[in-house]
Amino acid sequence: MFRRLYNFTGKGDTDPALNQDYATELMAKCPPPANPRTTVEMDPKSSLSFDSHYYVGLTEYKGAFSSDAALLTNRRAARLVRSFRDFNTFKMAFGRSMVHMGAIGVLTGCTTSPEKETDPALNQDYATELMAKCPPPANPRTTVKMDAKSSLSFDSYYYVGLTEYKGAFSSDAALLTNRRAARLVRSFRDFNTFKIAFGRSMVHMGATGVLTALSYSSTLSIELFILCECVCSGGLMASSSFNTKDLEDRWRAIQFKKK
Protein backbone atom coordinates (compact mmCIF):
# COMPACT_ATOMS: atom_id res chain seq x y z
CA MET A 1 0.00 0.00 0.00
CA PHE A 2 2.85 2.37 0.84
CA ARG A 3 4.31 1.97 -2.64
CA ARG A 4 0.88 2.58 -4.16
CA LEU A 5 0.63 5.88 -2.29
CA TYR A 6 4.14 7.25 -2.65
CA ASN A 7 6.11 5.46 -5.36
CA PHE A 8 3.77 3.54 -7.64
CA THR A 9 5.95 3.58 -10.77
CA GLY A 10 9.24 4.36 -9.05
CA LYS A 11 8.93 8.10 -9.72
CA GLY A 12 7.41 9.23 -6.43
CA ASP A 13 3.86 9.11 -7.81
CA THR A 14 0.49 7.82 -6.60
CA ASP A 15 -1.43 5.03 -8.34
CA PRO A 16 -3.73 6.86 -10.81
CA ALA A 17 -6.38 4.16 -10.26
CA LEU A 18 -6.80 5.32 -6.65
CA ASN A 19 -9.43 7.96 -5.82
CA GLN A 20 -7.47 11.15 -5.07
CA ASP A 21 -9.49 12.07 -1.97
CA TYR A 22 -9.08 8.54 -0.62
CA ALA A 23 -5.36 8.64 -1.41
CA THR A 24 -5.04 11.90 0.54
CA GLU A 25 -6.90 10.32 3.47
CA LEU A 26 -4.58 7.31 3.43
CA MET A 27 -1.49 9.52 3.24
CA ALA A 28 -2.65 11.35 6.36
CA LYS A 29 -2.92 8.03 8.18
CA CYS A 30 0.24 6.59 6.67
CA PRO A 31 2.91 9.30 6.45
CA PRO A 32 6.47 8.34 5.54
CA PRO A 33 8.58 6.69 6.74
CA ALA A 34 6.69 3.40 6.75
CA ASN A 35 5.63 2.19 10.18
CA PRO A 36 4.83 -1.53 10.51
CA ARG A 37 2.52 -0.78 13.45
CA THR A 38 0.24 1.49 11.44
CA THR A 39 -2.92 -0.21 10.16
CA VAL A 40 -5.85 0.88 8.04
CA GLU A 41 -9.23 -0.70 7.36
CA MET A 42 -9.67 -2.47 4.04
CA ASP A 43 -13.34 -1.40 3.93
CA PRO A 44 -13.21 1.94 5.77
CA LYS A 45 -16.90 2.79 6.06
CA SER A 46 -18.26 -0.60 7.04
CA SER A 47 -15.45 -2.83 8.25
CA LEU A 48 -17.64 -4.18 11.06
CA SER A 49 -20.84 -4.51 9.04
CA PHE A 50 -22.16 -7.28 6.82
CA ASP A 51 -23.08 -5.25 3.76
CA SER A 52 -22.05 -4.55 0.18
CA HIS A 53 -20.20 -1.27 0.76
CA TYR A 54 -16.94 -2.88 -0.37
CA TYR A 55 -18.31 -3.02 -3.91
CA VAL A 56 -19.66 0.53 -3.72
CA GLY A 57 -16.17 1.65 -2.74
CA LEU A 58 -14.61 -0.22 -5.64
CA THR A 59 -16.72 1.66 -8.17
CA GLU A 60 -15.59 4.90 -6.52
CA TYR A 61 -11.95 3.76 -6.94
CA LYS A 62 -11.49 3.45 -3.20
CA GLY A 63 -10.08 -0.06 -3.07
CA ALA A 64 -7.03 -0.16 -0.81
CA PHE A 65 -5.06 -2.61 -2.96
CA SER A 66 -3.96 -2.83 -6.58
CA SER A 67 -5.94 -6.04 -6.93
CA ASP A 68 -9.09 -4.13 -5.93
CA ALA A 69 -8.54 -1.70 -8.79
CA ALA A 70 -7.74 -4.63 -11.10
CA LEU A 71 -11.26 -6.01 -10.62
CA LEU A 72 -12.61 -3.13 -12.67
CA THR A 73 -10.26 -3.91 -15.57
CA ASN A 74 -11.79 -7.34 -16.10
CA ARG A 75 -15.15 -7.25 -17.86
CA ARG A 76 -16.73 -10.12 -15.96
CA ALA A 77 -15.35 -9.03 -12.59
CA ALA A 78 -16.45 -5.43 -13.19
CA ARG A 79 -19.96 -6.63 -13.97
CA LEU A 80 -20.03 -8.57 -10.69
CA VAL A 81 -18.74 -5.56 -8.78
CA ARG A 82 -21.47 -3.32 -10.16
CA SER A 83 -24.21 -5.87 -9.47
CA PHE A 84 -22.98 -6.53 -5.92
CA ARG A 85 -23.42 -2.89 -4.98
CA ASP A 86 -27.03 -3.96 -4.40
CA PHE A 87 -27.01 -5.66 -1.01
CA ASN A 88 -29.78 -8.14 -1.80
CA THR A 89 -27.96 -9.30 -4.93
CA PHE A 90 -24.72 -9.66 -2.98
CA LYS A 91 -26.41 -11.43 -0.07
CA MET A 92 -27.91 -14.10 -2.31
CA ALA A 93 -24.62 -14.68 -4.14
CA PHE A 94 -22.74 -14.73 -0.83
CA GLY A 95 -25.10 -17.38 0.51
CA ARG A 96 -24.53 -19.57 -2.52
CA SER A 97 -20.77 -19.09 -2.21
CA MET A 98 -20.82 -20.13 1.44
CA VAL A 99 -22.71 -23.29 0.49
CA HIS A 100 -20.09 -24.13 -2.13
CA MET A 101 -17.21 -23.24 0.17
CA GLY A 102 -18.66 -25.45 2.88
CA ALA A 103 -18.57 -28.38 0.48
CA ILE A 104 -14.88 -28.03 -0.43
CA GLY A 105 -13.20 -31.34 0.11
CA VAL A 106 -16.27 -32.83 1.76
CA LEU A 107 -18.65 -35.48 0.49
CA THR A 108 -22.01 -35.07 2.21
CA GLY A 109 -23.13 -38.44 1.03
CA CYS A 110 -23.46 -42.07 1.90
CA THR A 111 -19.87 -43.05 1.30
CA THR A 112 -19.48 -45.44 4.23
CA SER A 113 -21.18 -48.69 5.04
CA PRO A 114 -24.02 -48.37 7.57
CA GLU A 115 -23.37 -49.88 10.96
CA LYS A 116 -25.61 -52.54 12.36
CA GLU A 117 -26.92 -50.13 14.97
CA THR A 118 -27.99 -46.53 14.48
CA ASP A 119 -26.23 -43.81 16.46
CA PRO A 120 -28.43 -43.26 19.54
CA ALA A 121 -27.54 -39.55 19.41
CA LEU A 122 -29.40 -39.26 16.09
CA ASN A 123 -33.09 -38.35 16.05
CA GLN A 124 -34.92 -41.54 15.11
CA ASP A 125 -37.25 -39.91 12.59
CA TYR A 126 -34.29 -38.17 10.96
CA ALA A 127 -32.35 -41.43 10.93
CA THR A 128 -35.27 -43.13 9.17
CA GLU A 129 -35.35 -40.32 6.61
CA LEU A 130 -31.62 -40.68 5.98
CA MET A 131 -31.90 -44.44 5.63
CA ALA A 132 -34.56 -43.98 2.96
CA LYS A 133 -32.21 -41.71 1.03
CA CYS A 134 -29.14 -43.83 1.66
CA PRO A 135 -30.10 -47.51 1.45
CA PRO A 136 -27.36 -50.15 1.49
CA PRO A 137 -25.09 -50.85 -0.24
CA ALA A 138 -23.29 -47.52 0.04
CA ASN A 139 -23.37 -45.42 -3.12
CA PRO A 140 -20.74 -42.66 -3.36
CA ARG A 141 -22.97 -40.73 -5.79
CA THR A 142 -25.78 -40.35 -3.27
CA THR A 143 -25.72 -37.06 -1.40
CA VAL A 144 -27.76 -35.54 1.40
CA LYS A 145 -27.99 -31.98 2.68
CA MET A 146 -26.08 -31.12 5.83
CA ASP A 147 -28.79 -28.65 6.85
CA ALA A 148 -31.88 -30.45 5.66
CA LYS A 149 -34.54 -27.74 5.91
CA SER A 150 -32.60 -24.63 4.96
CA SER A 151 -29.50 -25.54 2.98
CA LEU A 152 -29.92 -22.54 0.67
CA SER A 153 -30.95 -20.00 3.31
CA PHE A 154 -28.88 -17.73 5.53
CA ASP A 155 -30.52 -18.52 8.85
CA SER A 156 -29.93 -20.28 12.16
CA TYR A 157 -31.89 -23.45 11.46
CA TYR A 158 -28.71 -25.54 11.67
CA TYR A 159 -28.63 -24.86 15.41
CA VAL A 160 -32.33 -25.59 15.78
CA GLY A 161 -31.70 -28.93 14.09
CA LEU A 162 -28.80 -29.70 16.42
CA THR A 163 -30.98 -29.31 19.50
CA GLU A 164 -33.45 -31.70 17.87
CA TYR A 165 -30.58 -34.19 17.37
CA LYS A 166 -30.75 -33.84 13.60
CA GLY A 167 -27.09 -33.17 12.88
CA ALA A 168 -25.87 -35.29 9.97
CA PHE A 169 -22.39 -35.91 11.41
CA SER A 170 -21.01 -37.28 14.65
CA SER A 171 -19.20 -33.97 15.12
CA ASP A 172 -22.60 -32.23 15.10
CA ALA A 173 -23.85 -34.41 17.93
CA ALA A 174 -20.56 -33.90 19.79
CA LEU A 175 -21.26 -30.17 20.06
CA LEU A 176 -24.00 -30.93 22.57
CA THR A 177 -21.64 -32.94 24.77
CA ASN A 178 -19.48 -29.89 25.52
CA ARG A 179 -21.01 -27.47 28.00
CA ARG A 180 -19.72 -24.30 26.35
CA ALA A 181 -20.47 -25.49 22.82
CA ALA A 182 -23.97 -26.59 23.81
CA ARG A 183 -24.64 -23.17 25.32
CA LEU A 184 -23.59 -21.53 22.05
CA VAL A 185 -25.78 -23.90 20.05
CA ARG A 186 -28.81 -23.04 22.14
CA SER A 187 -28.17 -19.29 21.92
CA PHE A 188 -27.60 -19.41 18.15
CA ARG A 189 -31.08 -20.81 17.59
CA ASP A 190 -32.11 -17.16 17.77
CA PHE A 191 -31.28 -15.75 14.34
CA ASN A 192 -30.46 -12.24 15.55
CA THR A 193 -27.98 -13.60 18.10
CA PHE A 194 -26.40 -15.81 15.44
CA LYS A 195 -26.27 -13.01 12.86
CA ILE A 196 -24.39 -10.68 15.19
CA ALA A 197 -21.89 -13.40 16.15
CA PHE A 198 -21.51 -14.43 12.50
CA GLY A 199 -20.65 -10.86 11.54
CA ARG A 200 -17.97 -10.68 14.22
CA SER A 201 -16.57 -14.03 13.12
CA MET A 202 -16.34 -12.90 9.50
CA VAL A 203 -14.39 -9.84 10.62
CA HIS A 204 -11.96 -12.04 12.56
CA MET A 205 -11.68 -14.52 9.70
CA GLY A 206 -10.98 -11.67 7.33
CA ALA A 207 -8.06 -10.67 9.55
CA THR A 208 -6.55 -14.16 9.78
CA GLY A 209 -2.87 -13.94 9.05
CA VAL A 210 -3.22 -10.47 7.53
CA LEU A 211 -2.06 -7.08 8.77
CA THR A 212 -2.85 -4.10 6.55
CA ALA A 213 0.33 -2.36 7.69
CA LEU A 214 2.75 -0.26 5.75
CA SER A 215 6.30 -1.64 5.57
CA TYR A 216 7.46 -4.44 3.31
CA SER A 217 8.72 -7.74 4.64
CA SER A 218 8.66 -11.17 3.05
CA THR A 219 7.84 -13.24 6.12
CA LEU A 220 4.27 -14.01 4.99
CA SER A 221 4.10 -16.98 2.63
CA ILE A 222 2.33 -16.34 -0.65
CA GLU A 223 0.38 -19.59 -0.20
CA LEU A 224 -1.27 -18.37 3.00
CA PHE A 225 -2.03 -15.03 1.42
CA ILE A 226 -3.70 -16.57 -1.62
CA LEU A 227 -5.86 -18.72 0.68
CA CYS A 228 -6.92 -15.70 2.74
CA GLU A 229 -7.49 -13.63 -0.37
CA CYS A 230 -9.84 -16.19 -1.91
CA VAL A 231 -11.89 -16.65 1.23
CA CYS A 232 -11.87 -13.25 2.86
CA SER A 233 -11.90 -9.51 2.21
CA GLY A 234 -15.03 -9.34 0.14
CA GLY A 235 -13.33 -10.67 -2.99
CA LEU A 236 -14.80 -14.13 -2.69
CA MET A 237 -16.81 -14.14 -5.90
CA ALA A 238 -14.24 -12.39 -8.05
CA SER A 239 -11.06 -14.00 -6.71
CA SER A 240 -10.74 -16.17 -9.81
CA SER A 241 -9.99 -13.04 -11.82
CA PHE A 242 -6.79 -12.23 -9.93
CA ASN A 243 -3.58 -12.87 -11.84
CA THR A 244 -0.19 -13.58 -10.31
CA LYS A 245 0.97 -9.97 -10.50
CA ASP A 246 -2.17 -8.76 -8.72
CA LEU A 247 -1.63 -11.28 -5.93
CA GLU A 248 2.06 -10.43 -5.62
CA ASP A 249 1.28 -6.70 -5.47
CA ARG A 250 -1.31 -7.27 -2.79
CA TRP A 251 0.95 -9.64 -0.89
CA ARG A 252 3.72 -7.03 -0.85
CA ALA A 253 1.22 -4.54 0.55
CA ILE A 254 0.58 -6.77 3.58
CA GLN A 255 3.33 -5.86 5.99
CA PHE A 256 4.78 -8.14 8.65
CA LYS A 257 7.66 -7.31 10.90
CA LYS A 258 10.01 -10.31 11.04
CA LYS A 259 10.29 -11.69 14.51
Instruction: Give CA torsion, residues 49, 50, 55, 56, to 10 deg.
Output: -50
Distance between start and end Cα atoms, the chain = 21
- The answer to whether the bond into 16 is cis (omega within 30° of 0) is no
d(CA 160, CA 158): 5
The residues with which 139 forms a beta bridge, in sequence order, are 110
- Name the binding residues: 43, 51
Q: Report how far residue 68's alpha carbon sits from residue 57's, in angstroms, rounded to the nearest whole number.
A: 10
Binding residues for Ca(2+): 43, 51
How many H helices and E strands in the chain? 13, 2
Distance CA 161, CA 135 (A): 23
